[in-house]
Amino acid sequence: MIGARTRLYGLIGHPVRHSLSPAMYNELFQRYGQDAVYLAFDVDPGRAGRVAEAVRTLDLAGVNLTVPFKEAVLPELDRMTVAAEEAGAVNVLTQKGGVLMGFNTDGEGLVRHLEEHGVPIEGRRALILGAGGTGRAVASALLDRDAAGVVLLNRTVQRAEAAVGALSRRFGHVLLDAAPLSPAAFASYAPQADLVVHCTAGGGAELVASLDPSLLPGSATWIDVNYWMPDPPQQAACDALGIRFHTGLGMLVHQAALAFELFTGNPVEAEDLARILKHEQSHA
């Protein structure tokens, strides 16, 4: 029963009505006997700069963040992890003793999903579509697992170049490159790519749909982190070509498992979250 001592967690983003996070976290809170509740807050992106203040004022114990809040909140944090610094974005905030701590579990969530499915990372080259917070987090996590190189394609190429510059300070020994997110640039890099990770927001779907996955090696894997999209761009094309395609649900459950442990101190298996999601989807 919700009471005066119930800890409040939530998702801050726009839009959030599609989110599966409340179902996942509330089921886990109940399972582990946590006096806590998780809600979805649909916040006007124009108020992104006030999110940290709201978390402090309302004494929220922790929140997950989506674009554009992942980056806007950075100047207001007390501390952040190295992974968050490299990503230039946070997707998890915790507040303990008045201290706001920022984490980024996106990249680690993705690589754990790939490892779970036997998709090799070490020595492989990745082509990342989008150089926002998620794209940079994914790039950093792949390089941490000894990927041979990463190329970031972004609609604003200067943003991709800035991300490559930041990554090169730690991973200067591997191939790092930036280019526009365009059919021509994709065609240039695709033949050498082992992994393609689509990390643009929903607005980039039409541009991603214009790319030609037939230029990829047949052994390549395509991952689309936008788990909420019912028909991800290039899924049908990859299926027809025999290229392995992964939706973002695997990344979602792994990063959510990491976030739940940060929130509560209780480790949880990603498989448990996957079962919760499957149950929720079957009753939607």
- Catalytic machinery residues: 70
> Nearest to residue 17, comparing CAs of 66, 58, 62, 53?
66
> What are the phi and psi torsion angles at 75 (to 5°)?
-65, -15
β-sheet bridge partners, residue 176: 150
> Nearest to residue 109, comparing CAs of 262, 251, 211?
251
Tell me, rounded to whole angstroms, the distance of Cα 175 from its chain centroid.
22
